[in-house]
Amino acid sequence: MMKNNTHKSINNKTIGVLVSGGDCSGLNLTVRSIVRHAIKTYNWRVIGIQKGYWGIWTRPMQTVDLTIEKCDYRWVTSGGIFLGSNKNIGPPKFADFGKTFPDLNDAFCQGYKALGLDAIIVIGGDGSLRKLAEIHNYQKQKSPDSPLNFLAIPKTIDNDVAYTDLAIGHETALDVVINAIDNLQSTAESHDRVIVVEVMGKDVGHIALKGGIAASADAILIPEIPYDINKLAEHINKIFRKEKQYAIVVVSESIRTPEGKAMKKTIGAKEQERYNGIGAELALILKEKVSAEIRSVSLGHIQRGGTPHIKDRLLAARFGVHAVDLIAKNQFCRVLCVLNGRSGDISIADATSRIQAVDPQGEMVHIARSLGIYVGEL
Ligand code: F6P
């Protein structure tokens, strides 16, 4: 039966697309794949929701019609997300907003209905997927007969979403890290220095471990494996004695200081605590223990931009097409994934069941150790 909605496209489907959480490279391309497949293959209408969940929580809602013409080549090569995103997915922080919409789950479901959506694709990381599951459960309880038809596409430079080998943005971030370390290797060599490189990774060390191995680091510290500062220093001193006069130490932002302190800083509101500064801190401590000059550099948000790596381009194409095909088959409430090289989809309960961390006994750690890289103490 035709719904009473003036926006409907001729074959009766309107879908929404929303990007939530921290940005990364490959997002524009993911939206582009969705738009092209939805319009070219199915002739659906696609509505982009701006600024993450806030675009559908606020009134008036912030939306934009997405067309083939809008998906030009800039969406293939650019970082960022043209729709905007928002990391604030907790309770409202703006006083007026709180008064107007005390229940954000309800605001979302009402917005979904008001836009005439048949389905919504949320592109997000772990926190955004949890929020989506919460909204879905809310709607299921409130109106069991009109469920929220969602699909989710994992994106995060950290690659910490469970049960997927890859999320959008991770490979490009690795590319940025590898290029940066390549540059640091040469200056470290010129000046006989140790350079400590801090990379992102909220509570997981995938970026540090893979980036460090690929760029031939001498030591890699990740939150999943404890380290001994004296053994690290001895490792570096031994390299200087026996091998070469420079060294690169890659540290994940979320490792603790040798005393066990997390290097978190509050930026603005309390909820905006972020990891920052362990690289500089460790360099100060190591200075007293190694026989070489030492410097530190934090790659920070540089890792979130850049031209998408080929793997992210292909992943964006795969996820976009797969999500639209699932909607065409009326299959909802799934999170897309790549497992053992194959595209697939899993339940949101599985996707949010745990954080995907580095396996301390896994292949990557074994490879690092086999190459003579210090990765801490098991
Ligand atoms: O989760 C992605 C991420 O880039 C983390 O690696 C990092 O800790 C965090 O986001 C930085 O957050 P923000 O963009 O709020 O500074």
Where do the structural domains in the chain lie, given as residue ranges? Answer: 5-167+308-339, 172-304+359-370
Q: What is the pLDDT of residue 378?
A: 81
Tell me: pLDDT of 50 over 60.
Answer: yes
Q: Among 202, 204, 276, which is best to mutate for testing ligand 1, by the most ligand atoms less than 8 A from CB?
A: 202
Q: What is the pLDDT of residue 72?
A: 86
Distances (CA, A) of 176 to 172, 201, 233, 303: 6, 14, 27, 6
Q: Residue 311: phi, psi to the nearest 5?
A: -65, -35
Q: What is the pLDDT of residue 103?
A: 85
How many Å apart are CA 87 and CA 167, to the nearest integer? 17
278 alpha carbon to ligand 1 midpoint, in Å?
15
Q: What is the pLDDT of residue 97?
A: 55
Mean pLDDT over each residue of the chain, to the nearest integer:
93
- Evaluate: CB of 158 within 6 angstroms of ligand 1: yes
362-373: per-residue pLDDT in tens? 999 999 999 999
Task: Sheet with 247-252: list strands edge to edge.
Answer: 219-221, 247-252, 193-199, 293-298
- Evaluate: CB of 201 within 6 angstroms of ligand 1: yes
- Evaluate: CB of 202 within 6 angstroms of ligand 1: yes
- Evaluate: CB of 198 within 6 angstroms of ligand 1: no
231-265: per-residue pLDDT in tens? 999 999 999 999 999 999 999 999 999 999 999 98
215 alpha carbon to ligand 1 midpoint, in Å?
22
202 alpha carbon to ligand 1 midpoint, in Å?
7
Q: What is the pLDDT of residue 265?
A: 87
Q: Among 157, 206, 222, 272, which is best to mutate for testing ligand 1, by the most ligand atoms less than 8 A from CB?
A: 157
Burial class (CB in 10 A: 0-12, 13-18, 19+), 265: exposed
Q: What is the pLDDT of residue 344?
A: 97
How many Å apart are CA 242 and CA 222, to the nearest integer? 26
Q: What is the pLDDT of residue 194?
A: 98
CA 158 to chain CA centroid, Å, is: 5
Percent over 90 (pLDDT), the chain? 87
Q: What is the pLDDT of residue 3?
A: 40
200 alpha carbon to ligand 1 midpoint, in Å?
7
Handedness of CA 310, 316, 317, 318 (dihedral sign): positive
Phi-psi region of 376 (alpha: psi -120 to 50; beta: other; left: phi over 0): left
Tell me: pLDDT of 22 over 70.
Answer: yes
53-108: per-residue pLDDT in tens? 999 998 899 999 999 999 888 899 999 999 999 987 665 555 555 555 668 899 99
Q: What is the pLDDT of residue 266?
A: 82
5-167+308-339 and 172-304+359-370, same CATH topology: yes
Q: What is the pLDDT of residue 195?
A: 98
Tell me: pLDDT of 143 over 60.
Answer: yes
Which atom in ligand 1 lies closest to the alpha carbon of residue 304? 4
How many Å apart are CA 285 and CA 243, to the nearest integer? 23
Q: Residue 131: phi, psi to the nearest 5?
A: -60, -40
Which is nearest to 38 in space by CA: 342, 326, 263? Answer: 326
Q: What are the catalytic residues?
A: 158
Hunting for tokens 């703006």 — which residue is that? 94
Rounded average pLDDT over 319-341:
97
Q: What CATH superfamily is the domain 172-304+359-370?
A: Phosphofructokinase domain (3.40.50.460)
158 alpha carbon to ligand 1 midpoint, in Å?
9
- 5-167+308-339 folds as Rossmann fold (3.40.50)
Which atom in ligand 1 lies closest to the alpha carbon of residue 254? 8
* Atom 11 in ligand 1: residue holding the nearest Cα: 274
Tell me: pLDDT of 15 over 60.
Answer: yes
How many Å apart are CA 126 and CA 154, to the nearest integer? 8
148-178: per-residue pLDDT in tens? 999 999 999 999 999 999 999 999 999 999 9
Q: What is the 3-state secondary structure (H, E, C) of the chain?
A: CCCCCCCCCCCCCEEEEEECCCCCCCHHHHHHHHHHHHHHHCCCEEEEECCCCHHHHCCCCCEEEECCCCCCCHHHHCCCCCCCCCCCCCCCCCHHHHHHCCCHHHHHHHHHHHCCCCEEEEEECHHHHHHHHHHHHHHHHHCCCCCCCEEEEEECCCCCECCCCCCECHHHHHHHHHHHHHHHHHHHHHCCEEEEEEECCCCCCHHHHHHHHHCCCCEEECCCCCCCHHHHHHHHHHHHHHCCCCEEEEEECCCECCCCCECEEECCCHHHEEECCHHHHHHHHHHCCCCCEEEEEECHHHHHCCCCCHHHHHHHHHHHHHHHHHHHCCCCCEEEEEECCEEEEEEHHHHCCCECCCCCCCHHHHHHHHCCCECCCC
Q: What is the pLDDT of residue 6?
A: 43
- Evaluate: CB of 87 within 6 angstroms of ligand 1: yes
- Evaluate: CB of 274 within 6 angstroms of ligand 1: yes
Q: What is the pLDDT of residue 2?
A: 37
Q: What is the pLDDT of residue 44?
A: 97
Neighbours of 358 (CB within 10 A): 23
How many Å apart are CA 337 and CA 121, to the nearest integer? 14
